[in-house]
Amino acid sequence: MDALIAEHAAALEHELEALVGISSPSGDRDGAEQAIALCRELLPAGAVCERVRCSTPGSADDLIARLPGTGARRLLLLGHLDTVVSHAEHQPMRVDGERCYGTGTVDMKGGVVLSLAVSRALAAAPERFAELAVLLVTDEEWRTVPFAHVERFADYDACLCFEGGERSPEGHEGVVVRRKGAGTLRVGAAGRAAHSGSVPHKGRNALLALAHAAIAGAACADPDGPDRLTVVPTVLRSGDAFNVVPAAGELVFDLRASDVRAFAAVVDAVPAEVGGATLSLTMERVWPGMDTEAATAPLLAGGSEVLGRPIVARSRGGASDASHFAAAIPVTVDGLGPRGAGAHTPDEFILRDSLRERTEVALALALRALQP
């Protein structure tokens, strides 16, 4: 394995700097196209590229690269190129000691760079696989529609996803095999405007109705319960003037649970009407949970032998495209990217040493997954 790694590991930091240097917020076609163009240059020679329609209308087409081999098994490497950070807030990569800071370093351009390095390493040994595929999507951070790609890869033997990596409390290399399901619940309020000084009683206050909804929904949270349900009000918008009873508004909840059916309790808890203002609910983004711990246990054990150090199963609350594939490809493992922190914030970073370390982890699992 060392020979496969050595040729590609030295270039990882330079490649990451180039990819992070491209601002590619969700929905921005030009940024996505620039990122995809760079990734195509980093793919192994002989990869056959195809642009396929993104799940989200209006987004740039996704990229699929396939490499045929002479082996017996098929492996999917999965990542996304979009970030949640706008062009105005985008930060190019900068190195400070052991850290590489920059937009998307950990979520998840660092992981994309690792996945491409793994694809190049595996390409040197085509006898190990029947087909190697790389899927890079452009809408992971804001998708509210069904994921479009599960069916085309449903008969693959394994899926490796490259969201940010981690270590266990004992210091072992950790990979993600359990994730909560995720949902976005929007609550709209329709009230009636009135002068807030002279005739407030003639109004129907949408803001107060949404405040009641926020409290009622949040009270359903049961993070230590059987479904580990969390309910977090994240966005509240209402009112246009300081002296007018708000006539309309919107509240957004972020929901997470082991079983997405637990979200129904939150929907039921939000009242239909408060103080004459009516509330309407829309569940617009429901991502499944993921639990591949049993199915991937032999892979992690075998990968640990290949690597020469333990690879252990971990759980995580954040959503990922790996969750969509897990039901169709039982051997799905996530969290193979470099270690870091601060995703979605100005302080986002990865640890420089983890670029090579996590490439070694991913390649060990890939080699084990491709064994008949």
DSSP assignment of 205-257 equals -HHHHHHHHHHHHHTT-BTTSTT-BEEEEEEEEE-SSTTB---EEEEEEEEEE
Q: What is the pLDDT, as a whole number, of residue 317?
A: 85
* Residue reference for tokens 């490497």: 77
Looking at domain 2-179+289-369, its CATH architecture is 3-Layer(aba) Sandwich (3.40)
Question: CATH fold of 181-286, please?
Answer: Alpha-Beta Plaits (3.30.70)
Q: What is the pLDDT, as a whole number, of residue 8?
A: 65
In 3D space, the residue among 335, 350, 39 whose CA is nearest the CA of residue 160 turns out to be 335
Output b/e per residue, 84-114; b: 16+ Cβ within 10 A. bbeeeebbebeeeeebbbbbbbbbbbbbbbb
Q: What is the pLDDT, as a whole number, of residue 3?
A: 59
**In the chain, ranges of CATH 3.30.70.360 domains:** 181-286
Residues 329-338 have a mean pLDDT of 98
Pairing verdict, β 94-96 and 166-167: unpaired
Q: Tens digit of pLDDT for each residue in 160-200?
A: 999 999 999 999 999 999 999 999 999 999 999 999 999 99
φ, ψ (nearest 5 deg) of residue 96: -135, 100
Q: Tens digit of pLDDT for each residue in 119-172?
A: 999 999 999 999 999 999 999 998 989 999 999 999 999 999 999 999 999 999
Q: Tens digit of pLDDT for each residue in 222-269?
A: 999 999 999 999 999 999 999 999 999 999 999 999 999 999 999 999
Q: What is the pLDDT, as a whole number, of residue 9?
A: 67
Average model confidence (pLDDT) across the chain: 96
Q: What is the pLDDT, as a whole number, of residue 318?
A: 82
**In the chain, ranges of CATH 3.40.630.10 domains:** 2-179+289-369
**Residue 76 pLDDT class (50, 70, 90 cuts):** very high
Percent with pLDDT over 90 in the chain:
95
